[in-house]
Amino acid sequence: MAEENKEAQTEQQEEQSASTKAEALKLKGIFATKLGMSSVFSDDGEAIPVTVLKYEPWVVTQLKTKEKDGYEALQISSRPKKAKNANAAEKGHCKAAGFENGAAISFEIRQDLPNGVQVGDKVSLESLVKGDKVRLTSKSKGRGFAGVIKRWGFGGGPAAHGSKFHRQPGSIGNRTWPGRVIPGKKLPGHFGFKNVTVKNVEVVDVLTDENVVLVKGPVPGARNTLVKLMKV
């Protein structure tokens, strides 16, 4: 009886380990939140500047196929919503994935659907490994309304008291023809708060115990900005 119990326990443990492995879904990209910058030392003693990205649990909430949607992709979601902030459509859409009141964040990862993937599977942080090259996309810092010197780096005019041309953009018009300002002219306006992509960024380390990804160099955006990391 004791041997049978041991065998049953080992079978249960193997089934549990297999199920946990199946739940750990690896994709071509993940999303993480920017915490700030730090530095780590390589094996050669070189100090490497890194940006610390915090990974939160992401769950597959929808599978898109070529037959139904015209392309293949996975919709992944994170951060459960409060009941007062969710409508019926959101609750119904995310219910199968385990979100009772919908998800606060949802994004798509365009790639071929992995074998056996199902709604409700958890995305693994091990989708990225040390040494990977990724393409980062995030929102840059918003700097409000800015003039041409701050926004575009114009030189401006003389700073002397007699000058009446200090930080103005200068002439922007044309002659009688075309008699209008050409679209795309560099003028004052909203500076920053745009999607910025940085290519070929190295993953310095992946700390699975702390759910942290370290990438080399700076990352656009302020603290708590959501960053998309896609393998090159």
Note the CATH number of domain 29-144+190-231.
Answer: 2.40.30.10
In whole angstroms, how far apart are CA 115 and each of 11, 26, 28, 112?
24, 11, 14, 9
pLDDT exceeds cutoff 90 at 31? yes
- Looking at residue 174, its pLDDT comes to 86
* DSSP-based three-state secondary structure for 121: coil
**CA–CA separation, 89 vs 64, rounded Å?**
18
pLDDT (mean) for 88-115: 92
- Looking at the predicted structure, is the pLDDT value of residue 197 above 90? yes
CA distance 57 to 44: 34
**Cβ(34)–Cβ(225) below 8 Å:** yes
- Answer whether 0.75 is exceeded by the pTM: yes
Is the pLDDT at 19 greater than 60, yes or no?
no
How many other CB atoms sit within 10 Å of the CB of residue 57? 12
Segment 197-216 shows an average pLDDT of 96
Q: What does residue 10 show for φ and ψ, rounded to 5 degrees?
A: -65, -40
Domain boundaries, the chain: 29-144+190-231
Q: Which of 24-28, 57-61, 73-77, 192-196 has the lowest mean pLDDT?
A: 24-28
